[in-house]
Amino acid sequence: MRSGMQWIGSHDLTLIVVLAIAAGAAWAFAGVAESVTEGETHAIDRTIVLALRDTADPGDPIGPHWFEEVARDVTALGGVAVLSLASLAVLGYVLIRRAYVNAVVLVIAVVGAQLASSLLKIGFGRPRPDLVPHLAQVYTASFPSGHAMVSTAVYLTFATQLASLHREVVIRGYLIATALALVTIIGVSRVYLGVHWPTDVLAGWAAGSAWALFVWAGTRWYSTRRRRTHPH
């Protein structure tokens, strides 16, 4: 017991916890992927998608007409154009702060997430929902949700990298909470618009979280090692 506590004390406990959470997110993605591949999620996916549409007219989503436009605006927050512009804005900020390590991490996180999403879509090749009309344009396979995965990876990376530049706990908490809120509503909007099955979004959230946390863990490990090697 004592040797175990000594081992933990000699290591970065936060890093260990984050790696454990990242591994859990990766395991969750694998679990959802397996269930989807075996067809175990079709019934629940179908039920949720149809529950978000008027029973008399599947082409009409529930809620007022203006809410449909809101959903399109929200879903755009996870699109390539918005994420690219946001990434450039955040990259510019960290470069002004001369946080060059953070800048490199942002590039790795954004490019890596987009590449991984594309490869996973090609690998699984799951068709888009065909139960209801799509209320947004789509061009790729369904699993995992690229909007959910990439926005999760990117916005969480924004939050963690910007939080590392601030010492105030309130600011750090606000950045993380904002990122989580954004990725949640983006993912939900994809199902509401009928362009993704719910499990596509769940898998996207899991994969995006795993990637963002692994990237953050790598950053923390590098920073800690650098401080120990160059204490001044």
Known catalytic residue at 166: no
Confidence label for 225 from pLDDT (cuts 50, 70 and 90)? low
Closest of 158, 169, 174, 138 to residue 208, by C-alpha = 158
Q: Specify the pTM.
A: 0.89
- The two structure tokens encoding residue 46: 């179908």
* pLDDT value of residue 227: 60
Which candidate in 65, 166, 196, 230 is catalytic? 196
* pLDDT value of residue 32: 97
Contact 199, 41 (CB under 8 A): yes
Average pLDDT over residues 92-114: 92
pLDDT surpassing 60 at residue 169 = yes
* pLDDT value of residue 101: 87
Confidence label for 43 from pLDDT (cuts 50, 70 and 90)? very high
76, HSE (Cβ side, Cα atoms, 13 Å): 9
Which candidate in 11, 134, 147, 166 is catalytic? 147
Give SS3 for 199.
helix
Average pLDDT score over the chain: 89
pLDDT surpassing 60 at residue 163 = yes
Give SS3 for 228.
helix
| Residue type at position 154 | V
* pLDDT value of residue 6: 44
* pLDDT value of residue 230: 59
pLDDT tens string 188-217 = 999 999 999 999 999 999 999 999 999 988
Q: Which residues contact residue 99 at a Cβ distance below 8 angstroms, ignoring those fewer than 6 apart?
A: 161, 164, 165
- The two structure tokens encoding residue 136: 């947004």
Known catalytic residue at 196: yes
Rounded to the nearest 10°, the torsion over CA 92, 94, 98, 100 is: -100
**Surface-to-core class of residue 111, CB atoms within 10 Å of its CB (0-12 exposed, 13-18 middle, 19+ buried):** exposed
pLDDT tens string 24-41 = 999 999 999 999 999 999
Average pLDDT over residues 38-46: 94
pLDDT surpassing 80 at residue 139 = yes
